[in-house]
Chain A
Amino acid sequence: MASNFSGALRLTDLDDFITPSQECIKPVQVERLPGRSGPIKVQSDGSYVQIGIDGEATQLKKAQITLNDCLACSGCITSAESVLITQQSQEELLRVLEANNKLPEGHEEKKLVVVSVSPQSRASLAARYHLSIQETARRLTGFLKELGVHHVFDETFARDFSLLQSQKEFVDRFRRREEKGTVPMLASACPGWVCYAEKTHGSYILPYISTTKSPQQVMGSLIKDYYSKQSGIRPHHVYHATIMPCFDKKLEASREDFYNDVYSTRDVDCVITSGEVEVMLDKEGLSLADMQPQDLDPMFPVSRDGQLVNHIGGGSGGYLEHIFRYAAQELYGVSVEHIEYKTLKNKDFREATLEVDGEIKLKFALAYGFRNIQNLVQKVKRGRSPYHFVEVMACPSGCVNGGGQIRPQDGEQPKELLPRVEALYNSLNTRRPEDNPLLDQLVSDWLGGADTEKAHAMLETAYHAVEKMNNALTIKW
């Protein structure tokens, strides 16, 4: 079995193929019932029962390791992958939909099922089924609605908020750049990178990681906070799934930071990858090209005329591009027409500089793939990084090449497929996030203004260093 996680995560031992029961050392919290505990007996089928004072046997629950336990623990060796399969997979989504479809309208358990689709996944599906992006969006909506999904949204809408927030955050950090831990600001949209930094570099690196939520998690806030309120439904009655180019996004959705204690619900309940959508179609013997096209839901439109649009700056979201332009304007009054990228060691490590009057004012970089992350991290640790902002992504070639994207078919080489997916991704018109048609309305209605406590809560997150544990079980030859 090959691992699906990005290289950075594979290195952090997050995907050893050992089921947790074999080697997991995480102390599991067991709920203790009040009163004296009685003797425990093992039944002939291997299950455990406890004998109460009244002599009645109650079945004991198995202790379960959640994905969140794995993320917070440096003890192993987890098989986060096998944990994931039980919590976040296309099977889980289908199970939820099937159960939901059986419930009559108005039943209190009935959920509103919402799916947000990432632009990278749309590009992957478009390449697989030889469709345009617009066609892919409409036919995917048709397929999902046939399965019982109520609404399908475009995640580009949430990325507007991520980009705007990142722009503001950068300028703020840059103005305070004499303070420690401000620049370089390191992009936070890639959960593989974030998880690697938390598990292995802790306090050296975490202050530099942008506190802006990724598009997936902004979408989560939009759905579970704004949308549920607008629709008069409580957050846990909305089931929110996302379609993503990346397995690591499943880990992101499982983070405790994105869990709502009041309603016991996650901002994103289930993440499925582009490849898992293909599996869902294959299972039904369907091609996306056969599906009845349907429009995306108009609740979160990305343009005024209903057409899909994209952001400039490449398949990882365009963080460098947007922050660079905004910062040049905001800090130096320079309007940037075109950004010139200089390729350094390899094609996944490029830099862009802003010169004003012959002096370098801003120095940004793209660092994709683990080897480039590694060199960057060592430089930042030693205070020798020349950069103000770095768009860090764990996958070589960035998110369009994510580990959850659909594999090449019929003898096509990965080298041939990637340019096709990139071309499709770049085939849409681009616009600035400031041109989001609902931007002003949401900032006032949802966030109560640009710099409010609510805005911070909805658009920002935090990172937590994972303590290294030296347990006898983890020491090996």
Chain B
Amino acid sequence: MRGNLENVASLTGHLDRVWHVSWNPDGKLLTSCGGDKTIRVWGTHSKSNEGQGSDWTCKAVLQDGHSRTVRRISWSPCGSLLASASFDGTTCIWSQKNAEFECITTLEGHENEVKSVCWSPSGSLLATCSRDKSVWIWEVDHEDDDYQCVGVLSVHTQDVKNVCWHPHKEVLASCSYDNTIKIFQEEDDDWCCVCTLTGHEATVWGISFDKTGTRLASCSDDNTVKIWQDCNPDGQDGGSSRKTSWKCICTLSGYHTRTIYDIDWCKHSGLLATCSGDDTIHVFQENSVGSSYKPGFSLMACVTNAHSEDINSIRWNPNGDGFLASCGDDGFVKVWKYSQC
């Protein structure tokens, strides 16, 4: 292994398991959410990221928005709005003014637990998914704080675990307890499923695009990571945008010994980070040799007992400075620094 992950902060405050961590767009704030129904906002006092090692404090606790577990959070690309998905069946939109957060809208409609939420790269669309097996797409009118449902996609046959937008196109990916990943696009004023990725042998928990959006990484209850390639990214091959075809070009197995709960593809370094029920964090890097259609990945770093229980989420700081956040059932939020040896 040619890399090293160093634990630079362990943040306590959550009273129950922590489900998800998310950095704001400029990478200065870290947010976490969990079973205690709260969202916590963490930051450092120093202006630069250099100080991230030492002086993390909890800057705000967002409560009273949800009546059950907050499962996942997503920052709008402009950094002024935070969306939170909860087991209470709602999605809250929080507005940040100075250091204050206020819940300005509650989106209702899902039949039961909302499992994930994600802002599109332009900030004009929001996707949510739920145990009710549906994926919803909302159009955002920022002037009126109005959210209109523009698509309800009931194509998964089971609980939808996660949704994730393409880094620069209005293309959405979702993954589910039905072992599949689905790709959605808008056609003739309606959203529809344009591709189904099959290959995982159990629940797909996490998905993450690379910076170009032509590759997607997924992690699963089958203890593997799969890398998928968009073989027709420009919609050529007949001209129909329906011709999207994603193929699995690589499977990473034998690393994690239990369910891999989350995966994040760093948009700067290209490093893939995974976290698992085996309490480890792994970091992989693509080998420079080998064709782009048959890539190989090497394990760069591995931290065993990174948390004392299941690790639920992992996120690279969008600054590209190698900071990585994780959280777990042990109630901790941890910050790590990756460095090449």
Contacts A11-B132, A378-B109, A476-B159 given; does A370 touch B189 at CB 8 Å: no
Cβ–Cβ contact A11 & B189, under 8 A: no
Q: CB < 8 Å: which of A7, A200, A378, A396 contacts B154? A: A7
Contact code string A381-406 (vs B, CB < 8 Å = 1, else 0): 10000000000000010000000000
On chain A, the residues within 8 Å of B62 by CB distance are: none
Q: In the assembled complex, which residues on chain A have CB atoms less than 8 Å from the CB atom of B150?
A: 345-346, 371
Distance of A345 Cα from B146 Cα, bound (Å): 13
Give complex CA distance A7, B109 in Å: 13
Say whether A7 contacts B159, CB under 8 Å.
no
List of B residues within 8 angstroms of A345 by Cβ:
148, 150
Contact of A371 among B108, B111, B132, B152 (CB under 8 A): B152
Residue of B nearest to A344 (CB): B148
Q: Which of B148, B150, B151, B159 has the most CB of A within 10 A?
A: B148
Mark interface residues in A449-474 (1 if CB within 8 Å of B CB, else 0). Answer: 00000000000000000000000000
Q: Residue-by-residue, is A26-60 near B (CB-CB < 8 Å gives 1, otherwise 0)?
A: 00000000000000000000000000000000000
Q: Which residues of B contact A374 (CB under 8 A)?
A: 109, 149, 152
A294 within 8 A of B: no
Known A10-B154, A13-B132, A371-B152: A346·B108 in contact at CB below 8 Å: no
B114 → chain A closest CB, angstroms: 13
Nearest A residue to B148 by beta-carbon distance? A375
A-B contact pairs, 14 of them (CB 8 A): A10-B154, A11-B111, A11-B132, A11-B134, A11-B152, A11-B154, A13-B111, A13-B132, A345-B148, A346-B150, A347-B189, A371-B149, A374-B152, A476-B159
Q: Is A303 an interface residue (CB 8 A)?
A: no
User: Which residue numbers of B lie inside 8 Å of A, CB to CB?
Assistant: 108-109, 111, 131-132, 134, 148-152, 154, 159, 189-190
Residues on A with beta carbons closer than 8 Å to the beta carbon of B148: 345, 375
CB of A12 closer than 8 Å to a CB of B:
yes
CB within 8 Å of B: which A1-37 residues: 7, 10-13
Known: A200-B111, A476-B131. A7 touches B189 (CB 8 A): no
CA distance A477 to B108 in the complex (A): 20
**For chain A residues 421-477, which have a beta carbon within 8 Å of chain B?**
476-477
**Which single member of B108, B131, B152 contacts A7 (CB below 8 Å)?**
B152
- Nearest-Cβ distance from residue B145 to partner chain A, whole angstroms: 13
Separation of A476 and B108 alpha carbons in the complex (Å): 20
> 14 more A-B contacts (CB under 8 A) besides A11-B132, A375-B149?
A11-B111, A11-B134, A11-B152, A11-B154, A12-B111, A200-B111, A345-B148, A346-B150, A371-B149, A371-B151, A374-B152, A396-B190, A476-B131, A477-B159
Cα distance, A374 to B149, chains bound together (Å): 7
Taken together as a complex, chains A and B put the C-alpha atoms of A299 and B268 apart, in Å, by: 77
In the complex, chain A residues whose CB is within 8 Å of the CB of B131: 476
Rounded to whole angstroms, the CA-CA distance of A374 and B110 in the bound complex is: 10
Minimal Cβ-Cβ distance residue in A for B189 = A346
Residue of B149, B150, B159, B189 with most chain A CB atoms under a 10 A cut-off: B149
Query: What does DSSP make chain B's interface, helix, strand, loop or mixed?
Result: loop
Residue in chain B with minimal CB distance to A384: B146
Residues in B whose Cβ lies below 8 Å from that of A371: 149-152
CB distance from B283 to the nearest CB of A (A): 28
* A346, A370, A371, A381 pick with most chain B CB within 10 angstroms: A371
Q: Which of A342-368 contact B (CB under 8 A)?
A: 345-347
Instruction: Check if A346 sits within 8 Å of B152, measured CB to CB.
Output: no
Q: How far is A12 from B130 in the complex, measured between Cα atoms in Å? A: 12
Roughly how many angstroms separate A378 CA and B148 CA in the complex, as a whole number?
A: 9
Scan residues 206-258 of chain A and give those whose CB is less than 8 A from a CB of chain B.
none
Q: Tell me how far the C-beta of B202 lies from the nearest C-beta in chain A, rounded to whole angstroms.
A: 14
Q: Which residue in chain B gives the minimum CB-CB distance to A377?
A: B109
What residues of B have a CB within 8 angstroms of the CB of A346 in the complex? 150, 189-190
Measured in the bound complex, the distance between the Cα atoms of B136 and A371 in whole Å is 9
In the bound complex, CA of A378 to CA of B159 (Å): 24
Contact with B along A157-198 (1 / 0, CB 8 A): 000000000000000000000000000000000000000000
CA distance A345 to B141 in the complex (A): 13
Contacts of B109 in A (CB 8 A): 374, 378
- Cβ B132 vs Cβ A378 within 8 A: no
Q: In the assembly, what is the distance between CA of A375 and CA of B148, in Å?
A: 6
B306 vs chain A, min Cβ distance (A): 23
Within 8 Å CB of A13, what residues of B?
111, 132
The chain A residue sitting closest to B111, CB to CB, is: A11
Chain A residue with the shortest CB-CB distance to B154: A10
Query: Which residues of B are found within 8 Å of A381, using beta-carbon distances?
Result: 108
CA distance A235 to B148 in the complex (A): 48
* A-B residue pairs, 7 tightest by C-beta: A374-B149, A346-B189, A370-B152, A371-B149, A10-B154, A371-B152, A374-B109
Q: Which chain A residues border B151 with CB–CB below 8 Å?
A: 371
Bound form: Cα–Cα A356–B234 in Å: 52
> Cα distance A371–B150 when bound, in Å?
6
A347 to B150, CA, bound (A): 12
Q: How far is the CA of A11 from the CA of B134 in the complex (A)?
A: 7
Q: Which residues of B contact A370 (CB under 8 A)?
A: 152
Cβ of B190: which chain A residues have Cβ within 8 Å of it?
Answer: 346, 396
Docked pose: A381 CA to B109 CA in angstroms: 12
Nearest A residue to B157 by beta-carbon distance? Answer: A17
Give the shortest distance, in Å, between B72 (CB) and chain A (any CB): 14
Question: How far does the Cβ of A183 sit from chain B's closest Cβ, in whole Å?
Answer: 22
Residues of B within 8 A of A476 (CB): 131, 159
Q: State the Cβ distance, A384 to closest chain B Cβ, in Å.
A: 10
Closest residue of chain B to A415 (Cβ to Cβ) is: B188
Residues of chain B within 8 A of A347, CB atoms compared? 189
The closest CB in chain A to the CB of B107 belongs to A378
Determine the residue in chain B with the shortest Cβ distance to A8.
B152
**With a CB–CB cut-off of 8 A, which chain B residues contact A375?**
148-149
| Residue ID in chain B nearest A196 by CB atoms | B111
Min distance, Cβ B243 to any Cβ of chain A, angstroms: 16
Q: Is the CB of A378 within 8 A of B108?
A: yes
**How far does the alpha carbon of A389 sit from the alpha carbon of B330 in the complex, in Å?**
53
Per the bound structure, the CA–CA distance linking A370 and B154 in Å amounts to 11
Residues of A within 8 A of B152 (CB): 7, 11, 370-371, 374
| Docked complex Cα distance between A73 and B134 (Å) | 21
Q: In the complex, A74 Cα to B149 Cα: how many Å?
A: 24
> Which residues on the A side are within 8 Å of B159 (C-beta)?
476-477
